[in-house]
Amino acid sequence: MDAAHAAMFTRSNVKKLRMPNIGSALQFEMMKMEILKPLLIAASDDNLTNLRFAKLFRTRRGNRRYLRDLMQKVDAQERNHLTQAICNHVIAPGRAPPFERKLKALDAKLTAEDWLRTALRANAIGMKLKITLRRPDDWHLHLRDGNMLRAILPYTSKHFARAIIMPNLVPPVVTSADAAGYRDRILGALPDGSKFEPLMTLYLTEQTDPDDVAAAHASGLIKAVKLYPSGATTNSASGVSHFDSVRPTLERMAEIGLPLCVHGEVTDSDIDIFDREAVFIDRVLDPIRRTTPGLRVVMEHITTSNAVDYARSQDETLGATITTHHLVINRNHILAGGIKPHYYCLPVAKREEHRLALRDAATSGEARFFLGTDSAPHTDANKLLPCGCAGCFTALNTMSILAQAFEEDGALDKLERFTSLNGPAFYDLPANEDTITLTKGDPVTYPSHVETPDGPVTVFDPGFDLNWRVE
């Protein structure tokens, strides 16, 4: 149990034993380490001493969950030599892909930091500032379909190597056959010579077949399943209303290691729109995680300090994406001085204190936070309706905005982690080998609109000059 509840047990017959970095599913992890039975026997024999427990708990040195959580914790503290020691300890007996990738990422990080220090010195004497990063990925992207897909895809494929593709089409991508067809349409819309890889997802419904999900995962077709609460956002009418009905699918996903991407908002009419994320965490997300041990979950496009705090309190099976626009705007940008429909998105931007919490998380370098732009194109005609669509189109200028924001926060050395390293590590994929270079100079001019056969799409305007450009 957690420390707060443990503190309630104060009688003399209570012995408190700490098991840090093991996560919330203690019974499951103790069974994996084969120490639960010896602990119970020792307790029943009144022989459970601190020394006896310490000897049994040494088996954690071979427990991957413990070691991954410990690795991520010391990595977030930038204790690089200790992180390397943990990775080498795990790799020594045999293959351990997540730890091997972390060693590679550390090498890349140290190289990037050395480059940044050199670049900053150069900038101080008037030379042009450049930073080179591994090519980024977008872990939450809307591409739409048909004319819109063909018009906007090149803007993502120009800078990003891969993207988790959202399945909320009309009709939604609910089966492996749907995902295969959509993937083929995306590949067919790519510019000649593009190496962009769409990472497909399935739209979770109350009729989803766990066997179809498992088969799609086993074939390599899908990388995640997306949970939309019914009515939460664009094209979410087919989403989930009764969460117990999807439990068999979630349990199968936990077994096979397939991540669940979550739009984290309740849709109850009595819950204020600015509170929907925090209420979802308490009412839906935390119960799902407690009842489905081992399920890997991505809290998508988090918007509150509540979500940041919750993510930081969890083990390595929970990640969180943060959008470009939520790092820049708060709710005043939408409402103050007149309604700005092109800043309207879901989840809606919150108070300034929440935006600052997101900035702190994104620029921290912590492994659990990574980029998911949620770039979501809508024609101006649909954005400007009396009941306009939610979404910000950031595919063109995301990297410029992020470089500007990270520089402002003194965290340019963490930009590569957020955009290029943390996401692949969570999804157990290798980081990209090729690179992009950003250069700081005179303000960059981006088009205000992108023309599509369906009509113009407004490009997100951060409200300040952008001095970083992708070469």
Looking at residue 109, what is its pLDDT? Answer: 60
Beta-strand relationship, 129-134 and 435-440? antiparallel
Same-domain pairing of 268 and 410: yes
Q: What angle do CA 407, 412, 414 make, to 5 degrees?
A: 135
pTM: 0.75
Give the tens place of pLDDT for each residue, 191-211: 999 999 999 999 999 999 999
CA dist., res. 81 & res. 86, Å (int): 9
Six token digits for residue 227: 């949970």
CA dist., res. 257 & res. 293, Å (int): 11
User: 123-134 in b/e burial notation, b at 16+ Cβ within 10 A?
Assistant: eeeeeebbbbbb
Give the tens place of pLDDT for each residue, 338-367: 999 999 999 999 999 999 999 999 999 999
Domain that holds residue 98: 72-127
Looking at residue 457, what is its pLDDT? Answer: 98
**Angle, helices 352-362/398-408, rounded to nearest 10 degrees:** 90
Same-domain pairing of 167 and 28: no
Same-domain pairing of 99 and 53: no
Same-domain pairing of 51 and 143: no
Looking at residue 30, what is its pLDDT? Answer: 79
Same-domain pairing of 212 and 307: yes
Query: What's the half-sphere exposure (Cβ side, CA atoms, 13 Å) at 106?
Result: 22
Nearest residue to 243 via CA among 221, 259, 267, 222:
267
Same-domain pairing of 184 and 55: no
Q: Which residue type does 463 have?
A: G
Torsional class of 286: left (φ above 0), alpha (ψ -120 to 50), beta (otherwise) = alpha
Looking at residue 5, what is its pLDDT? Answer: 63
Q: Tell me whether residue 168 is in a domain.
A: yes
Q: CA dihedral in degrees (405, 407, 408, 414; nearest 10)?
A: 70
**How far apart, in Å, are the Cα atoms of 363 and each of 76, 319, 376?**
11, 15, 23
End-to-end CA distance of the chain: 51
Q: Tell me whether residue 377 is in a domain.
A: yes
Looking at residue 107, what is its pLDDT? Answer: 60
Looking at residue 230, what is its pLDDT? Answer: 85
Q: Tell me whether residue 390 is in a domain.
A: yes
Nearest residue to 136 via CA among 399, 325, 462:
399
Contact 296, 217 (CB under 8 A): no
Same-domain pairing of 353 and 367: yes
Q: What are phi and psi of 36, to 5 degrees?
A: -65, -50
- Boundary residue ending a domain (91, 106, 127): 127
Per-residue pLDDT of the chain (471 residues; tens, 9 = 90+): 555 566 667 777 777 788 877 776 777 777 878 888 888 888 888 888 888 888 888 888 777 777 888 888 888 887 776 787 777 777 765 656 666 667 666 665 655 555 555 555 555 444 568 999 999 999 999 999 999 999 999 999 999 999 999 999 999 999 999 999 999 999 999 999 999 999 999 999 999 999 999 999 999 999 999 999 987 776 677 789 888 899 999 999 999 999 999 999 999 999 999 999 999 999 999 999 999 999 999 999 999 999 999 999 999 999 999 999 999 999 999 999 999 999 999 999 999 999 999 999 999 999 999 999 999 999 999 999 999 999 999 999 999 999 999 999 999 999 999 999 999 999 999 999 999 999 999 999 999 999 999 999 999 999 999 999 999
Same-domain pairing of 45 and 87: no
**Sheet order of strands, 197-203 included:** 138-141, 162-165, 197-203, 222-227, 260-262, 297-299, 318-322, 369-371
Q: Tell me whether residue 110 is in a domain.
A: yes
Q: Strand, coil or helix: what is 15?
A: coil
Report, as residue numbers or ranges, the catalytic residues. 374
User: In angstroms, how far is CA 153 from the centroid of its own chain?
Assistant: 21
Six token digits for residue 120: 């900053």
Give the tens place of pLDDT for each residue, 220-259: 999 999 999 987 776 677 789 888 899 999 999 999 999 9
The total domain count for the chain is 3
Nearest residue to 223 via CA among 200, 256, 204, 205:
200
Contact 401, 101 (CB under 8 A): no
Q: Tell me whether residue 257 is in a domain.
A: yes
Q: Tell me whether residue 67 is in a domain.
A: no
